[in-house]
Chain A
Amino acid sequence: MSDAVVVRGLTRTFGEFVAVDNVSFSVAPGEIFGFLGPNGAGKTTTIKMLTGLLRPTSGFASVAGFDVNTQAHELKLRIGYMSQLFSLYADLTVDENIQLFGGLYSVLGDRFKERREWVLEMAGLKQHCRTLTARLPLGFKQRLALGCAVLHQPQILFLDEPTSGVDPLARRSFWDMIHDFAASGTTVFVSTHYMEEAEYCHRLALMNRGGLIAMDRPAALRLAMNEPIWSLRTDNAPQAVGALRRAPGVIDAAMFGRAVHVTLQKDMAAEDIIRDTLATAGRTCESLKQVTASLEDVFVSLVRHGGGAVVG
């Protein structure tokens, strides 16, 4: 089976600003493909090009086998899209929103009845189908938006930061649904800046400043982290962080819960450096051990190598 999404040298500029810079990747059918990156990295711009909302400046992209430049209409029949902002009609009821999408995607007759039932069931909105969407809690709105996006059973589902502002419990159940879709063969293309969400993806692409800086399975990305990370506990963590940041061979030191995580340059006598620095600063070292990198560590490290994030 051919790839669900194929992207070759995709570029989009806005005047002087290069939002997406020569990006290439492909996504297999049934894969959950995560797009991770800080705000302004170019995630949303890429998704907009892949959903036919924005024309690429140069490069090639095909979705479900259709060229985004020339076959946008055919493409839109086969994808579902849920944008960053909640964007159903707040002044329509739950049912009216579902009917609108049924009409727009030509899901009609018996198939519509069946799909409507399915969406209400999935979103847990059976009792609320006559409620104005504006009155629903955010978690329900999000699930309704997801339901409307998959009403027509798309081959590929694009989710642009779908869980921003949703509480962790709702986010967890949202991801359970995404896994169900993938299990039934739907390709899911999701962008996020939540690290724990990135862990749910089959494969991750890390984006920064418009370019791809890494792409692999989450576990492989963590292993690929070059610099060792040590975790320590001390009597005065903030002071220890300050001292460690100035120490030679230390790339970064940061609070991590009650512990302090220290990233060091490769091949350094890490344990000695940390113990010496703490002793000089007059701090006690209660515990010290090397830890595996979290996705956040990997991400921060990669972004640092790439020249830092664009803030804004």
Chain B
Amino acid sequence: MNGPRLWAMSRKEAIQLSRDPRSLALAFLLPMALLLFFGYAITFDVKHIKMAVLDQSRTQQSRALVEAFESSGYFTVTQHISHHAESDRLLGRGKVRLVLVIPPHFSQDLAGRRPAAVQLLLDGGDANTATIAQNYAFAIATRYSTELMGAGVAPTIPVVPETRVWYNETLQSRNMVVPGLIAVIMAIIAAMLTALTIAREWERGTMEQLAATPVHRLEVVLGKLLPYVAIGFIDVALAALAGVFILGVPLRGSSVLLFGMTLMFLLGALGLGIFISAAVKTQILATQVAIIGTFLPALLLSGFMFSIANMPLVLQAITYLVPARYFITVTRGIFLKGIGIQTLWIEGLAMVLFAAVGLTLATRVFKKEIA
């Protein structure tokens, strides 16, 4: 390893990067766009579900139940209807997701201490939303009945299941998405940017010229890597700042640990990207292999979008080979749980291993060409 040679390689790579608008956009605009897109637009939370009410009871109690739905924040009553036929029309056209039907004898049933049934009609077209809406509605109805019983002469106190949510108290999916997204963004940067860097040298014939100089293959790999590590750090910092200050995601753990882990992840992912680039030798093929080989697994098999525990066993086994899986555990752990190295050391170790493998592969692939 020789300082001036490593520095010359890095400097050259950084200058080339700074003159390539496509790479710059990929490095800085894409991560920010993804962050805001996932942070704002794609939310797995269900709020302000539009609902209609068919109140056949028209009593103080029935109005109180409707009020309970509205004040929860999860539902917005947009229509009051008077016929069953209308509910079909509203649900069918997607005007509302849910219709609450309160039967005429609702108050009498309550007064007579009989089970007072209300009917919920749900649009199952979006199964996810429907399930969530159903659960919310169930919770609201349960609370409503306990309040009623508390006010009246209650012979028995009904058991109310109390749930407490840890780490993401408000169960905001944004809090899960942003730290995970940081890992996905790193995977994209690593794969897409480095995929081009060596393939480009092959295509332009500059690799041969490099190979004829005394530069070592490790100097080529590390020299090329350093500017991308810098970009990776800038991206993590920007994403963390945007996450905390714009999207309101808590950062409870150590930011030093976050950057340390990021470095490990980047070395592995970048090394892998360089390996792909060096192995296939054309920019187009390298980009495609990088997308299929690293970006898609990072998105789909890392636990970012789909819970690993719910995957078939074969896929679960494969996720152990996806570096982003470990990094997502790390980012979520540091952001949401504030846990430190004493808990995250296994993931850290896994990523050190990936870094070693990535760099070794990247260096090895030059063996035939650069002595």
A residues adjacent to B (C-beta < 8 A):
51-53, 72-73, 76-77, 79, 81, 83, 85-92, 96, 99-106, 108, 158
* Contact indicator A106/B212 (Cβ below 8 Å): no
Question: Which of B41-49, B63-71, B202-210 is found at the contact surface with chain A?
Answer: B202-210
- Choose one: B9, B20, B204, B369; the contact of A87 (CB below 8 Å): B204
- Please tell me if the beta carbons of A73 and B214 are within 8 angstroms of each other in the complex: yes
B20 — which chain A residues lie within 8 A by C-beta? Answer: 91
Question: What A residues does B15 contact at CB under 8 A?
Answer: 91-92, 96
| Interface residues of B, Cβ cutoff 8 Å to A | 2, 4-5, 7-9, 11-12, 15-16, 19-20, 204-206, 208-216, 369, 371
Closest 6 CB pairs of A and B: A103-B8, A72-B371, A81-B212, A87-B209, A85-B205, A87-B205
Whether B11 pairs with A53 at a CB distance below 8 angstroms is: no
Interchain nearest-CB distance for B13 vs A (Å): 10
The reply to whether B19 and A102 contact each other, CB–CB distance below 8 Å, is no
- CB-based A-B contact count at 8 angstroms: 76
* Pick from B4, B7, B16: contact of A89, CB under 8 Å: B16
Cβ of A51 to closest chain B Cβ, rounded Å? 5
Q: Are B209 and A83 in contact (CB under 8 A)?
A: yes
Residues of B within 8 A of A103 (CB): 4-5, 7-9, 11
B208 CB contact (under 8 Å) in A53, A106, A108: A53
CB distance from B214 to the nearest CB of A (A): 4
Give the contacting residue for B213; candidates A76, A89, A96, A108; CB below 8 A: A76
A204–chain B nearest beta-carbon distance, Å:
24
Complex Cα spacing A255 to B19, Å? 52
Interface centre among B2, B19, B20, B371 (most CB of A within 10 A): B371
Distance in angstroms between the alpha carbons of A52 and B7 in the assembled complex: 23
Complex Cα–Cα for A47 and B289 (A): 34
A99 contacts B11, C-beta separation under 8 Å: yes
Write the nearest CB–CB distance from A46 to chain B, whole angstroms. 14
Per the bound structure, the CA–CA distance linking A88 and B16 in Å amounts to: 12
Specify which chain A residues have a CB less than 8 angstroms from the CB of B8 in the assembled complex.
99-100, 102-104
Question: What is the bound-complex CA distance between A208 and B2, given in angstroms?
Answer: 41
Q: Return B201 CB to nearest CB of chain A, in Å.
A: 9
B211, A53: Cβ atoms under 8 Å? yes
Give the nearest-CB partner of A80 in chain B.
B212
CA distance A104 to B2 in the complex (A): 9
Question: Would you call A105 and B213 a contact (CB within 8 A)?
Answer: yes
Among A73, A103, A158, chain B packs the most CB atoms within 10 A around the CB of A103
Residues of A close to B212: CB separation below 8 A: 51-53, 76, 79, 81, 83, 158
- B214–A87 touching, CB < 8 Å: no
Give Cα distance in the complex from A72 to B370, angstroms.
9
List the B side residues contacting A52 at CB < 8 Å.
Answer: 211-212, 371
